[in-house]
């Protein structure tokens, strides 16, 4: 038997990112595009592995987007088989959630065991808008489980035990569909299923279709996760190949797997992200000039000029390093303006991750406290263009002021000392100038 299906997840319809209507539309457009692809590719069914919606409580426009897309599939006679994700799970006391509503309207097939007895999921063939499995084609079986968070691993074990007792006469190919992460895919993410927790499904599924993690990944030509369609947070832009799987199955293939799964990137809004190191940019004007040059070059590299008026990018500029001048002198609005000039963006974000010179202290070898203190202070003055020329003298001045303060000196005495030190440093500067001019 040969057939073909499309696997997608994490559409997040209804996400009005950056509070922009255009972004709301982008999430809808990405969903429509993938649905049109499914129709053009003549797939036998579509898998939707959770998070169709951004949140539980959606508005009418969002519901309309979902209905318009799903109606296209229904008109093409392509069933859409789904599970609930964490973003759309109905509130405990809600009568039905919106996913269930779409199932009741027969716009999708929503799979879930719903009931557990003695820890065992109650598996049932899909009928009257409910059930945990369905055979969309004769010989093809799809099992589904909604998002269960941290308990998923435990539930999978009993799910596999329940599958063991289910007759599977005539089933040639099985799919397990759920919304869950896999451990080790995202550094910042704790938890997720281990491959050991997924192992009991080995005998019951030829293809494990996941959603949840917005980064695409696959394991052992068995577990597949396509990632998010649109970009829900700027960091997702780095996973450019995410989108949907087109899967061709041929059960007569002599070897495993019986499928060939190809990941395709769907069309989506361009995100441009870049990082500028500020360490050598000695004044605000120097920084702005350098930044303009940098942005122009990047915009060229990224092919921004080729984007149409409806494709204006989202741009994130990151400033990194040690700022060699007073932090308050940096005008972020001006940097935003530079980004607008070079990119004509839909939305701009300027992220200032720079450290002020005064906080950027590097640990060195073991030194006595007074020497260490003077070196640290000198380093701080060194990196600040206002003090950098006489950093050692400024460090000594700061230390003597500190000593006075600790001794409980009168404020006037501290001021006098500061004036004396400043005068001395000024003399130093003149003397150095004299030496220079005498050359």
Give which of 172, 182, 187 is closest to 139, Cα–Cα. Answer: 172
- b/e map 210-235, b = 16+ CB within 10 Å: bbbbbbbbbeeebbbbbbbbbbbebe
What span, in angstroms and rounded, lies between the C-alpha atoms of 44 and 5? 6
**Cβ-contact 54, 87 below 8 angstroms:** yes
Supply the minimum distance, in Å, between the C-beta of residue 131 and Mn ion: 24
What span, in angstroms and rounded, lies between the C-alpha atoms of 113 and 375? 67
Supply the minimum distance, in Å, between the C-beta of residue 74 and Mn ion: 24
Supply the minimum distance, in Å, between the C-beta of residue 186 and Mn ion: 12
Comparison of 87 and 100: residue with beta carbon closer to Mn ion: 87
DSSP SS3 for 224: strand
Residues 6+ apart with CB under 8 A from 170: 138, 139
Report the interface residues with Mn ion, using CB under 5 A: 10, 51
DSSP E strands: which ranges in 307-429?
A: 314-320, 322-323, 347-352, 355-356
Supply the minimum distance, in Å, between the C-beta of residue 242 and Mn ion: 12
What is the side-by-side strand order in the sheet with 173-179?
A: 133-137, 140-145, 173-179, 207-211, 223-225, 217-219
| Residue 371, CB-side half-sphere exposure with 13 Å CA sphere | 5
Comparison of 239 and 288: residue with beta carbon closer to Mn ion: 239
Supply the minimum distance, in Å, between the C-beta of residue 236 and Mn ion: 10
> CA angle, corner 194, sides to 85 and 34, nearest 5?
40
Cβ-closest position to Mn ion? 51
Comparison of 228 and 354: residue with beta carbon closer to Mn ion: 228
Comparison of 51 and 382: residue with beta carbon closer to Mn ion: 51
Supply the minimum distance, in Å, between the C-beta of residue 29 and Mn ion: 18
Comparison of 102 and 378: residue with beta carbon closer to Mn ion: 102
Comparison of 10 and 112: residue with beta carbon closer to Mn ion: 10
Comparison of 54 and 197: residue with beta carbon closer to Mn ion: 54
Supply the minimum distance, in Å, between the C-beta of residue 87 and Mn ion: 6
| Residue 309, CB-side half-sphere exposure with 13 Å CA sphere | 0
**Cβ-contact 225, 262 below 8 angstroms:** no
């Amino acid at each position: 038997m040969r057939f073909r299906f499309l696997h997608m997840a994490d559409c997040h319809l209804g996400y009005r990112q950056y509070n922009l209507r255009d972004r709301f539309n982008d999430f809808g457009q990405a969903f429509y595009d993938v649905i049109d692809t499914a129709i053009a590719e003549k797939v036998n069914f579509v898998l939707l592995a959770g998070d169709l919606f951004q949140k539980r409580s959606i508005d009418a426009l969002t519901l309309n987007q979902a209905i318009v897309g799903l109606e296209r599939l229904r008109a093409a006679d392509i069933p859409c088989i789904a599970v609930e994700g964490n973003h759309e799970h109905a509130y405990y006391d809600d009568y039905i959630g919106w996913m269930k509503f779409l199932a009741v309207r027969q716009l999708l097939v929503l799979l879930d065991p719903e009931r557990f007895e003695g820890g065992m999921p109650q598996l049932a063939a899909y009928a009257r808008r409910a059930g945990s499995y369905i055979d969309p084609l004769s010989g093809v079986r799809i099992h589904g489980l909604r998002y269960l968070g941290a308990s998923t691993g435990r539930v999978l074990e009993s799910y596999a035990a329940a599958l063991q007792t289910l007759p599977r006469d005539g089933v040639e190919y099985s799919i397990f569909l759920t919304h869950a992460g896999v451990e080790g895919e995202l550094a910042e993410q704790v938890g997720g299923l281990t491959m050991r927790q997924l192992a009991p499904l080995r005998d019951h599924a030829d293809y494990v279709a996941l959603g949840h993690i917005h980064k695409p990944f696959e394991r052992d030509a068995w577990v597949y996760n396509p990632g998010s369609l649109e970009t829900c947070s700027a960091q997702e832009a780095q996973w450019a190949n995410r989108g949907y799987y087109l899967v061709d199955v041929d059960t007569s293939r002599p070897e495993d797997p019986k499928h060939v799964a190809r990941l395709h990137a769907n069309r989506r809004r361009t995100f441009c992200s870049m990082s500028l190191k500020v360490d050598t940019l000695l004044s605000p004007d120097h920084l702005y000039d350098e930044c303009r040059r940098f942005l122009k070059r990047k915009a060229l590299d990224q092919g921004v000029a080729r984007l149409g008026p409806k494709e204006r990018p989202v741009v994130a500029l990151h400033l990194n390093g040690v700022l060699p001048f007073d932090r308050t002198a940096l005008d972020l609005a001006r940097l935003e303006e530079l980004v607008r000039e070079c990119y004509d963006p839909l939305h701009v974000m300027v992220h200032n991750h720079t450290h002020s010179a005064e906080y950027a202290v590097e640990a060195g070898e073991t030194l006595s406290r007074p020497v260490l203190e003077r070196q640290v202070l000198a380093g701080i003055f060194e990196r600040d263009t206002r003090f950098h020329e006489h950093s050692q003298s400024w460090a000594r001045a700061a230390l003597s002021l500190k000593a006075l303060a600790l001794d409980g000196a009168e404020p006037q005495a501290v001021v006098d000392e500061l004036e004396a030190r400043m005068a001395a440093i000024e003399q130093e500067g003149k003397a150095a100038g004299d030496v220079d001019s005498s050359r």
